[in-house]
C-alpha cells in the first residue's frame, strides 16, 4: 500500500476546500517548520500522513483570515483555535453524550476537557477507519434512509469561537458542543467559516 504523503493530503484538501493547492502547501510548509506535521524524508521516503496531520492542516486552512498575513502567521492563528477547550456547564458535560449510543470509539474516547484539535483528530480518524461510515450506514438502514447525517464545524472570527455539531440520526442522535467562550463572539463584525461531513469523510478516506 502506498504512503499518503503531504503532497497527497495537500491535493485532497485543495480539492475539497477550493483553496489553491500552492496556498495549501504554503500552510503545510509552515506547519512542518513548527513541528506540527511529520517531517520524515521526501519522495518515496516521505512520512505517512495521519489524522493528526490532516486535522492541523485543515484547521490552518479554515482558520486563516480572509485578508492580511494569512500564511505568515498561520501556525499562531491556528493554535488559537486548536487549543480551545470544550465549554462545560451544569447542563453541558464536556464528553459527547451521543457517543454512548454510537459505535464510534474515537468520539467516545474524548475526555470531558478535550480540545478542538482533539475533536477534529477523532472524527477524521473515525472516517479513516470506516467507523463513522459504518454508523451512518447502520442508522440510515434503521431509518429507511430518510435522515440526512451531518458533522459540522463552524469557526467564528476574528474572535476565536467554534461550534461542532454531530447529527447522525435526527434529534435523537444530535449534539452540539461549543469550544471557547461565548463571550468571544460578542461584536458586530464577524466572519464565519464552516465545513461538514463531506470534508471529514473525504479527508479521512484519503489517508487510507
Residue 176 in contact with residue 99, Cβ under 8 Å?
no
Strands 150-157 and 191-195 come out as: antiparallel
Residue 51: predicted pLDDT: 98
Residue 84 lies in a domain: yes
- Domain of residue 168 covers 6-206
Residue 50 lies in a domain: yes
Residue 128 lies in a domain: yes
d(CA 204, CA 208): 7
Residue 185 lies in a domain: yes
Residue 1 lies in a domain: no
Residue 171: predicted pLDDT: 72
- Residue 43 predicted with pLDDT over 60: no
- DSSP secondary structure string, 151-167? EEEEEEETTTEEEEEEE
State the pLDDT confidence band at 200, using cuts at 50, 70 and 90: very high
- Mean pLDDT of the residues in the chain: 91
What separation in angstroms does the CA of 174 have from each of 53, 95, 168, 178, 197? 27, 13, 6, 14, 14
Taking alpha carbons only, the member of 98, 101, 59 closest to residue 76 is 59
Question: Could you give the 3-state DSSP secondary structure of residue 111?
Answer: coil
Question: Over the stretch 111-159, which tens digit does the pLDDT of each residue have?
Answer: 999 999 999 999 999 999 999 999 999 999 988 767 789 999 999 988 8
d(CA 16, CA 127): 15
Instruction: List the Cα angle 88/90/95 in 5-degree steps.
Output: 45
Q: What is the average pLDDT across 31-54? A: 84
Domain count, the chain: 1
Question: Could you give the 3-state DSSP secondary structure of residue 92?
Answer: strand
Q: What is the average pLDDT across 71-89? A: 93
Does the reported pTM lie above 0.85? yes
Percent of residues, the chain, with pLDDT higher than 70: 91
Question: Could you give the 3-state DSSP secondary structure of residue 11?
Answer: helix
Within 13 A of 42's CA, how many CA atoms are on the CB side? 2
Residue 89: predicted pLDDT: 79
Amino acid at each position: 500500500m502506498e504512503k499518503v504523503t503531504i503532497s497527497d493530503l495537500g491535493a485532497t484538501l485543495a480539492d475539497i476546500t477550493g483553496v489553491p493547492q500552492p496556498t495549501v502547501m504554503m500552510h503545510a510548509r509552515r506547519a512542518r517548520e513548527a513541528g506540527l506535521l511529520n517531517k520524515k524524508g521526501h519522495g518515496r521516503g516521505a512520512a505517512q500522513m495521519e489524522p493528526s496531520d490532516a486535522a492541523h492542516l485543515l484547521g490552518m486552512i479554515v482558520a486563516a483570515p480572509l485578508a492580511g498575513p494569512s500564511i505568515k502567521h498561520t501556525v499562531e492563528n491556528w493554535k488559537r483555535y486548536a487549543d480551545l477547550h470544550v465549554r462545560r456547564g451544569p447542563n453541558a458535560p464536556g464528553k459527547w453524550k451521543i457517543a454512548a449510543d454510537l459505535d464510534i470509539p474515537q468520539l467516545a474516547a474524548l475526555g470531558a476537557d478535550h480540545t478542538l484539535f482533539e475533536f477534529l483528530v477523532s472524527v477524521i480518524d473515525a472516517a479513516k477507519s470506516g467507523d463513522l461510515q459504518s454508523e451512518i450506514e447502520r442508522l440510515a438502514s434503521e431509518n429507511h434512509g430518510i435522515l440526512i447525517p451531518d458533522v459540522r464545524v463552524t469557526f467564528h472570527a476574528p474572535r476565536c469561537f467554534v461550534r461542532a455539531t454531530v447529527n447522525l440520526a435526527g434529534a435523537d442522535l444530535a449534539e452540539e458542543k461549543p469550544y471557547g467562550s461565548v463571550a468571544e463572539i460578542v461584536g458586530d463584525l464577524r466572519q464565519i467559516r464552516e465545513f461538514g461531513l463531506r470534508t471529514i469523510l473525504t479527508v479521512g478516506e484519503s489517508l487510507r
